[in-house]
Amino acid sequence: MSPSMVNHGRSLTIRDPVWNTIRLDALAAAIIDTPAFQRLRYIRQLGLAHLVYPGATHTRFDHALGVYHLAERAIRTLKAGPSTPPEVWDGARLIPYAALLHDIGHYPFSHAIEELDPATIAANHEQAGAAFFESEEMRVALAPLGEGAHEEISRIITGRGENALRGLVSGSLDLDKMEYLRRDARFCGVPYGEVDVEHLLQGLVLLEDPASGKWEVGIRAKAIGTLESLLFAKYQMFRSVYWHHGVRAATGFYKRIVEVALTARLVSPPELIGPTDEQLLHELDRRARACPGEVASRLADRWLPALRNRRLPKRAVEIPAWQLEGRALPDWVGGETAEKRSWEDALAAELDLAPGEVILDFPVKTAMFQLDVLVDRPGRPVRRLGGEGIPGLIDLPKLAEELYRTARVLRLFTFERRPLDPEWVLQRLAEGPGAGGGGDDGGVAPGTRRGSNRAVQPTAGVETSDGGGRIG
């Protein structure tokens, strides 16, 4: 594409259901007209959550526009604040465009594929974004920013570089969180994500780190209460939406489909970067049907149709993380490793299920509630709110740790209903991959029979509603 084919003289005004009016300058309008950005219209913001919350069909495109909008507002607020050395504003021009492009590299169905073993995929979504920055259309769109602008935008997105305002795009106060909490809650129809964005934006201030002497985006002490509300909103959204059992069942199912397709070489890791949600499912189906063998047949005839028709894996066991305190779980429980897959497949064989049809889910997001932000306190030195907290303020680090602990749930999903005794499953976990026995009938799980695929009766006290049950 030649520069003459990109119109940098046209701004846009967009009506948005969350922020009402979003105004894009001419350069931002040129960016969103590129094929790489238009692709985001077809990447659902919440992956498979629409199978539980039907309204959750909003996209990365919508979200990116919202983050751009908030970045423009945040910069205006910071410019109206206390004076700072002129060099602090070096590169500030790039921040709104970094905000607009922060999700450019997302995989189909957003974050799910990134939960796979890093060795099996090409990159995380931030690293994958580099491929889209290299497209001719994107280079032309970004040309007015000068040589090397796309490399600097990539550094801002990944939290690197020396740009003092990069924290608006990647950090504890990044605008991404403020935007997605509000948007996700709106489209899921839940009341949990209503952060006081206006007050939080007004609380932003540029501060000098007393330890390093470098400037960065911090927060005024008067806005700490709003930061607390953001933590609680995030906690409620994780408990009720992002880690809802149906959403995790669908996510685990999709991850298993992609992982098996990678293992069977129906698709290569680089080929996962670029397709839209539906393009990837269609291509996996096409390749599986064209390939002989049991694995390809299972994908084409059983798994992919089940995902499309919302026949999700069922909960066999569900244990809140706080009930696991004092128990030693293997390190592989929270990952997607060969050891975990070996354990799952051994259990599947005992339950008369095919390989891959037992899914152990214990989501990990250790940085979910962590804070690392400078706080401006009237009449007192600037201080960093980190792991130690700040005396006189609510102990946010301890609160963040507690929220994370109570949001996590260990679940075992099976492709056909197999309610199990939680204690038996925990015992099997302690034994590790390949362990035999542990059941009540020569290694068979309590409540099942060898050679039988019948639906068994629930074990007393175990939650067994289907893996895709709706709220309420």
- Domain-by-domain residue ranges, the chain? 3-226
Calpha distance 171→371 (Å, rounded): 9
State the pLDDT at residue 394.
60
State the pLDDT at residue 451.
40
Q: What is the CA radius of gyration of the chain?
A: 24
State the pLDDT at residue 9.
67
State the pLDDT at residue 201.
95
Cβ(386)–Cβ(372) under 8 Å? yes
State the pLDDT at residue 412.
97
Q: Name the CATH superfamily for 3-226.
A: Hypothetical protein af1432 (1.10.3210.10)
Could you report the average pLDDT of every consecutive run of 10 residues in the chain (472 residues)?
A: 55 95 96 96 97 97 98 96 92 96 93 89 77 90 92 89 92 90 96 88 95 94 87 91 96 96 94 95 97 95 97 96 89 90 95 95 80 88 77 67 87 94 94 60 47 36 34 26
Calpha distance 270→122 (Å, rounded): 6
3-state secondary structure 167-218: HHCCCCCCHHHHHHHHHHHHHHCCCCCCCCHHHHHHCEEEEECCCCCCEEEE
Calpha distance 130→376 (Å, rounded): 36
State the pLDDT at residue 6.
56
SS3 61: helix
Calpha distance 226→425 (Å, rounded): 41
Number of other residues whose CB lies within 10 A of the CB of residue 322? 11
The DSSP bridge partners found for residue 205 are 218
